[in-house]
Amino acid sequence: ARAQIGVTGLAVMGRNLARNLARNGFTVAVHNRSAGRMQSLLADHGDEGEFIGSESLADFVASLERPRKIIVMVKAGGPTDAVIDDLVPLLEEGDIVIDAGNAHFPDTRRREAALREHGLHFVGTGVSGGEEGALLGPSIMPGGSAESYTWLGPIFEKIAAQVDGVPCCTYVGADGAGHFVKMVHNGIEYADMQLIAEAYDLLKQGLGASAAEIGEIFAEWNTGDLESFLIEITAGVLAHTDPVTGGAFVDVVLDQAEQKGTGRWTVQNALDLGVPITGIAEATFARALSGSVPQRAAAAGTLPAHAGTWDVIDRDAFVEDVRRALYASKVVAYSQGFDQIAAASAEFGWDIDRGAMARIWRGGCIIRARFLNRITEAYERDAHLPLLLADEYFTQAVGDGVTAWRRIVAQAALNGVPTPAFSSSLAYYDGVRAERLPANLIQAQRDFFGAHTYRRTDREGSFHTQWTTDRAEVQE
C-alpha cells in the first residue's frame, strides 16, 4: 500500500495528527529524525489505522503516493528549514510540503516562494487545539496555493473539528495567509486569557471570593453568551485543589506568565500595518509585566496606592457588571483582530474571508466560542464590514453593557486593581466612536516643530503655518 499523506516530526502534535489521519481512514506515512518515536507510535497506536513507518527520509518519501503530501511538524525556525532542505531533493514537481507548526508568516512566505521555484507547493497551515485537538479534531487554517487545497481540502476537512456538520477548515489564502491567521488567532487567545484573568482578579478583589467560588461564577457564565472553551477550562482550573497544600491550585501557581512568541508577533505586525490591536497588545504586555521581576520587586510595597478598599454592596449586580465588561472587552479584542486580518489581507493580496475565519474557529481551536457564530453572521450580512463593533448585533450587545463596563473600569482604577485589557478596550471603544479626537492637536504640534503640515476640516489640501515668523498659513 502507498500512503496518502505523511507526517515527519512525531513529537506529541505530529503524533496526534498522524493518529487522527489514520483513524479517519487515511494511510499515513510516518517518520521521525530519531526512529524511536516512529517505532513507539506504531507499537502504541498501530492498530488505530494504516501506518507506514520509515526510518529514513528517502524511504518515507518513497512510501507516498503522488502528488506527495507531507506534513512537517517540527519546531518553528531553524529545525523547519533543516527538514525542508532535506526533503526538497527527494521530491518531484507538484508535491506538497505542509508546515503545520506555529511558523512566523514571513518565514512561510519566504519558504513558499523558494519551493515554488522547484515546482513544489508549500502550504503553511495553522493548526489549533493543542494535543487533544490534533487527535480529535483541530481547527485547520491552510494557506499556500489554491491548487494545493484541491488535494488537501478533502483530507483536512475530514480530520478537522466539525460544528453543525461544517468542518473547521477552509482555504485561507495564498502563501503565508494560513500562518498569519493562526498568529492572529493566538493574539486573540492572549487577549481572551488576559480578560478572563482580569475578571478573576476583579471578582477576587471586589468580593474577596475564593478561587472555588469564582470558578462557580465562570461555570455559570459558560451557560450564556460567554460560553467558550477558555471560560470552561477556567472554571475547571479554579475548582482544582492542589494536592500538596490542600488549598486552591491557582493560589500556589507563580504569577509570572510566559509566552512562546505568537502574541508578540501579532503585536509587531500590527505596528507594521498601523492597526490598533490594543487588547492583544495589552495582554502581551501584561505577560511581560508579570515577568518583570526586578521592577516588581522594586515597586511592591513601595509605590503608594492611595486606593480605596473595595466595598461591593450588591454582589449579584457586581458579578453581572464584570460579566458585561468582559463580554464587551472581548468583542473589542475580536473586532481589532479582524481589522488586522483585513489590513494584512489587503497588504499581501490574500483576499481573506473574515466570516469564514470565524466559522472555522467555532470548533477545535483554543478560542472556540459560541459568539463566533455571531461574527460569521455579521460578515454574512456585510462581507466588507469596516468594523465588527459596527455590526448591528454587536453594536447592541456592547451598547447594552457599556454602563456596566464603565463602572467596572472606574471602580478598578479607584481601588487600584490593574485592568489593562478591560480599560484599554473601553478606551478604544470611546476612541473609535468619538466624533472628534484630539489628533488635531498632534498634527498642529507636528507642524510647529517639524513643518510636517496638516489638513483642514474646511478645505482640501495640505497646509503649513509659519510658526516662527508671522504665523501665516501657506498651502503646500
**Residues interacting with ligand 6PG, by CB under 6 A?**
102, 128-130, 186, 189, 259-260, 262-263, 365-366
> Least distance to ligand 6PG from the beta carbon of 31, Å?
23
CB of 257 to ligand 6PG, least distance (A): 8
For ligand 6PG, the closer of residues 259 and 373 by Cβ is: 259
Cα(304)–Cα(223) distance, integer angstroms:
40
CB of 107 to ligand 6PG, least distance (A): 15
CB 176 within 8 A of CB 112: yes
Query: Whole-angstrom Cα distance, residue 278 to residue 428?
Result: 7
453, with CB counted inside 10 A (0-12, 13-18, 19+), is middle
Instruction: For the chain, give percent helix, strand, coil, nearest 5.
Output: 55, 10, 35
User: What is residue 249's DSSP assignment?
Assistant: G
Annotated catalytic residue, options 69, 112, 182, 282 = 182
Give the residue nearest to ligand 6PG (CB): 128
Nearer to ligand 6PG, 130 or 431 (CB): 130
| Alpha helices, H only, 222-261 | 229-239
Cell triple for 423 = 480599560
Q: Is the link from the previous residue into 420 a cis peptide, with omega within 30 of 0?
A: no
Is residue 182 among the annotated active site residues?
Answer: yes
The secondary structure of residue 300, as a DSSP letter, is T
**Burial label, 350 (beta-carbon count in 10 A; 0-12, 13-18, 19+):** buried
Binding residues for substrate: 102, 128-130, 185-186, 190, 260, 287, 446, 452
Question: In the bound complex, what is the minimum distance in angstroms from residue 366's beta carbon to ligand 6PG?
Answer: 4
Report the residue number, 134 or 398, with the smaller CB distance to ligand 6PG: 134
330 is an active site residue? no
Q: How far is the CB of 100 from ligand 6PG (least distance, A)?
A: 11
Q: Residues marked as binding for NADP(+)?
A: 9-14, 32-34, 74-76, 102
Closer to ligand 6PG by Cβ: residue 5 or 100: 100
Residue 51, classed as helix, strand or coil, is: strand
For the chain, the first-to-last Cα distance in angstroms comes to 73
For 32, 185, 230, the CA distances from 127, given in Å and listed in that order, are: 19, 10, 17
Catalytic site residue from 69, 112, 189, 198: 189
Of residues 51 and 371, the one with the C-beta less far from ligand 6PG: 371
Q: Give the catalytic positions in this structure.
A: 182, 189
